[in-house]
Amino acid sequence: MSLDINVSLDGVRSPIARARVAEISQSVLRGEGIKSALVSITLVMPRAIAKLNAEHLKHSGPTDVISFGFSRATSADPVVGDIYICPDVARANARRLGASIREELARLVVHGTLHVLGYVHPDGDGREHSDMWRRQERLLKRLLAPRV
């Protein structure tokens, strides 16, 4: 059993290394007790994520992250999912939030991985007060802590 994370860049430059993106997702999976997974993470341009957003979520325009988790027949089956992240939208969010782009991208990897695992949050104002959001921020804090 293994945690296989494939990270690809679809025409974008990433402010964090592909290996670090994979490591963040693997840490979330391990933290949630997952022993077997196949997750694809693709960093995309705004046009590509806007297309996914329209096709799958019926929303217009680009967004920061979209995740697809596939059902497992049993808990012994591997977790399988796809995550799409738009660094341009992440950069704008980081500026608005007063965070670094690296922190915001890490947040989106954690967020997307949690969605692949089946976590959900409400849209709108309740989002940042949801159990998923609190879990995300705890994981992010641990992942971004200085390594000793």
The CA-atom distances, in angstroms, between 80 and each of 68, 70, 129 are: 9, 6, 27
**Hey, is 80 helix, strand or coil?**
strand
Mark the ranges of the chain whose per-residue pLDDT is less than 50: none
What residues does 65 pair with on adjacent strands? 85
The pLDDT, as a whole number, for residue 148 is 64
The pLDDT, as a whole number, for residue 127 is 77
> Taking the model in full, what pTM does it have?
0.94
